[in-house]
Structure 1
Amino acid sequence: MAQFDVYPNPSKTSKEQYPYLVDIQSSLLSELATRIVIPLGKRSALGGDAMRGLTPEIRFADQEFLLLTPQISAIPVKHLKSPVGSLSHFRDQIIGALDMAITGV
């Protein structure tokens, strides 16, 4: 598992609105039974504007998403199957969103 890999959301109840989860956990913590993830929400389903810095716009799989940083959570590794892509090229935006959530800056 690599940091910033994207996985299909395994939840039957939320995968329609949040089809993907982004693994943000450092690979140095690979021994843990959980991974820290942030959902990608469909921009079209969420409406409104992105919260500058906190919910960056992400284009993935030819769709527009918002990285829903306030919904950060942990999920058991066993629920994350094969990654379907990577957002490593959005590293600065993801780290910036986390910094905004933690420090407000």
Structure 2
Amino acid sequence: MAQFHAYENRNPASRKRYPYLLDIQSNLLGELRTTVVVPLCPVGIAESLRISHLNPSIEIDGERYIALTQELAGMERKRLGKAVHDLGLYRDRIIAAVDFLVTGI
């Protein structure tokens, strides 16, 4: 498991809305049973809900997704699907969104 990697959503009930889950937890906490994820939603579904500082736009294989930072959740690592994308390029935007969620600035 690696910070800022996107994983396939294995849950059939939510996969269409959230095809990817973005692991945002520090690699220093890799021994924990759980990790913190942010769901990624296709831009066509989430664009009207987007707050620019809170919901960065992320591109995966030419498709745009919105990081729904306000819906972050903890989940067991073993429930994550396969790691499919390294989104470290978006690190600053993702951290800024989490900061905005927690501090409002």
Q: TM-score band, normalised by the shorter chain?
A: over 0.9
Code of the residue aligned with 2:89 in structure 1: it is H
Structure 1, unmatched stretches of 5+, are: none
Counterpart position of 1:64? 64
Pairs within 5 Å for 1:31-50: 31-48=31-48, 50=50
What displacement does 1:22 show? 0.4
Q: Gaps (5+ residues) in structure 2?
A: none
1:33-60 C-alpha deviation (Å, 9 max, x unpaired): 0110000011112241620210011111
Once superposed, which parts of structure 1, at least 4 consecutive aligned residues long, lie more than 2 Å away?
none
Q: Is the 8 A contact 2:9 2:81 kept in 1?
A: no
Tell me the residue number matched to 2:102. 102
Letter matched to residue 67 of structure 1: A
Instruction: Map 1:1-105 to 2 at 5 A.
Output: 1-48=1-48, 50-105=50-105
One-letter amino acid of the counterpart of residue 91, structure 1:
R
Q: How many residues align?
A: 105
Greater displacement, 77-86 / 1-10: 77-86
SS in 2 for 1:22: strand
Q: Aligned partners of 1:69, 1:28: CA distance in 2, in Å?
A: 21
Q: State the SS of the aligned residue for 1:38.
A: strand
The whole-number CA distance in structure 2 between the counterparts of 1:49 and 1:17 is 13
1:70–1:101 Cα contact (<8 Å) kept: yes
